[in-house]
Structure 1
């Protein structure tokens, strides 16, 4: 996941966890830390023999945090796998691609369409699961499903094509 702290953006991955002992990779660099988070949002981190105490205030359904340490406050944003996927699907011009692809490794949970189906802006074509979270893969324009390339239960890789579409023009929409 991406962690945003002010202007700094870091790619953070949980590598291993056993009790309070955590191994994380930050931009590819490994760190072993001891972390304890109390129910009231107080957090204690021990790293390289140094203890750091802070208060963590959660907002935006766990996507944003205010971290207070001493007299300093930091706004922290988290971009998880689901948000990365949603960002990858957004287009500046709002046009639909002719192929729905997997933004990350995962599994096909449900397929809501078949070849020949006509779909409209906002329709969910596939329910996709990655990192124990489900996402609805939707179209952002009117289309006809040309081909479904996966089956329910299939594991998929990053960038793997899932569905081929025929994009409908405004003339075809009026027919």
Structure 2
């Protein structure tokens, strides 16, 4: 995923998450942190023997946050890289695949579709959560939901098929 912090743009990839221990890469550099989240939006982060406390205030749509840390505040935007990629690719001749796969390990938060539903380009098919951040996965062309292979609350692996689609024959 792409994270914007002020003028800085960071490429962040979740490698693994076990309990509070999170392994990720930031701009290709491996980072291991221990994160404990409280219900009020505050969190405690342990990294390289240092302890940090932060308050996270979620913005509209859940893709932006204000992060407050001991006399410093940051505005953080999480860019939906799948939507960005699909938008950049929109003019190409490539069409929607006949399935939606998990791009990384995570948890299924919501499946706002049912078998037989007809979807239009841009409709959300599934919502996944990884590292306390939710991502909407959308279709990029008209299709029908053939089967749903996961349920809300399921843990999923990288490249696991979540939903199978029948593509519209139009075009």
TM-score by length of structure 1 reads 0.59
Give 1:88 deviation, angstroms: 2.7
User: Is 1:101–1:163's contact at 8 Å kept on the other side of the alignment?
Assistant: no
Give 1:128 deviation, angstroms: 8.1
User: Is 1:110–1:128's contact at 8 Å kept on the other side of the alignment?
Assistant: no
Give 1:72 deviation, angstroms: 1.3
Pick one of 137, 140, 143 that aligns with 2:140.
137
Larger Rg: 1
User: Is 1:6–1:74's contact at 8 Å kept on the other side of the alignment?
Assistant: yes
Matches within 5 A, 1:66-81: 66-81=66-81
Pick one of 115, 124, 128 that aligns with 2:120.
124
Residue 119 of structure 1: aligned partner: none
Supply the RMSD in Å over aligned alpha carbons: 3.8
Give 1:81 deviation, angstroms: 4.3
Residue 65 of structure 1: aligned partner: 65
Residue 101 of structure 2: aligned partner: 106
Structure 1 residue matching 2:32: 3-state secondary structure: strand
Q: Distance in 1 between matches of 2:67 and 2:8?
A: 15
User: Is 1:99–1:164's contact at 8 Å kept on the other side of the alignment?
Assistant: no
Matches within 5 A, 1:1-175: 1-89=1-89, 97-101=92-96, 106=101, 124=120, 132=128, 133-138=136-141, 152=146, 166=171
Q: What 5-or-longer segments of structure 2 have no aligned partner?
A: 103-113, 129-135, 148-159, 162-166
Q: What 5-or-longer segments of structure 1 have no aligned partner?
A: 91-95, 114-122, 140-147, 157-161, 167-175
TM-score by length of structure 2 reads 0.60
